[in-house]
Structure 1
Amino acid sequence: MFSKYILRNQKDFSAVYRYGKSKSDRFLVLLYKKNNLSYNRIAFLASKKVGNSVRRSRARRLMREAYRLTEIKITEGYDIVIVARKTINDVKCMEVEKSLRSAIKRTHELYNENNK
């Protein structure tokens, strides 16, 4: 993932939290907001509630892989923040991917059904 696709600025995070929409699922919370760019910018967050640094890193890796596998289904032009929940620690990547797909499908704005 190129660095221009990563959400980093505090004001961008604040805008997503304040003005964006959210969908939650069993293992993660998906926050999103239109960014008026031709590409998506994304951030993966795991708070200390998820566990120690090893568990938080694993949670971010799982979410990153799930996003990579479902990226083709996402409409371009959004800032996306994916936040891990505590329950993400006890699951495999396939379950996190299903959870992310489910959250994306329920947004209707992000889901692009034309792509395979």
Structure 2
Amino acid sequence: MRRRGEFQHVFEIGYRIPSKYFTLLLAPRSSPPARIGIVASRKLGDAVRRNLAKRVIREVFRHLDTPPAAVDVVVIPRRELFNAPFIDIERDFRTAWGRGSSRIQQNNAR
């Protein structure tokens, strides 16, 4: 995701899943594949730290076992991400992803 409107759409209708290292927002979309967007504000630190957070999150997203469905994902990293081992971040992402995807499936079934 790159455009402001795409991010705004997810912020407006997306499901917010808070976790220890980030906040995940998921919004269903009409066609695959999944798209990811990362919002790293200056509260995280300087540009080097913000870019590190983005790289870590993109790598975690690549490691997902099941390919994501037709969904837009926005990730808002937290400062705690910098002090955590990659395994913990990945585990936290999988847990949040599971909660969010089940929530989307429930609403699609209605």
Give the match for residue 97 of structure 1: 90
Aligned length: 104
Q: What amino acid sits opposite 2:50 in the alignment? A: R
- How far residue 91 of structure 1 moved from its aligned partner, in angstroms, is 1.4
- Could you give the per-residue CA deviations for residues 20-73 of structure 1, whole angstroms, max 9, x where no partner exists? 111011001110111101211111221111111111111111111111101x33
Q: What amino acid sits opposite 2:49 in the alignment? A: R
Does residue 46 (structure 1) correspond to residue 40 (structure 2)? The answer is yes
Relative contact order higher in (CA < 8 Å, ≥ 6 apart): 2
- Give the secondary-structure state (helix, strand or coil) at the position aligned to 1:79: strand
Flag the 1:12–1:83 CA change in 2: closer, same or farther, 3 A.
same
- Would you say the 8 A contact 1:75–1:110 is kept in 2? no
Two-structure CA RMSD over aligned residues (Å): 1.6
Flag the 1:110–1:73 CA change in 2: closer, same or farther, 3 A.
farther
Q: Report the identity percentage.
A: 26
TM-score, normalised relative to structure 1: 0.82
TM-score, normalised relative to structure 2: 0.86
Q: Which runs of 5+ in 2 are unaligned?
A: 106-110
Among 71, 75, 83, the residue aligned to 1:78: 71
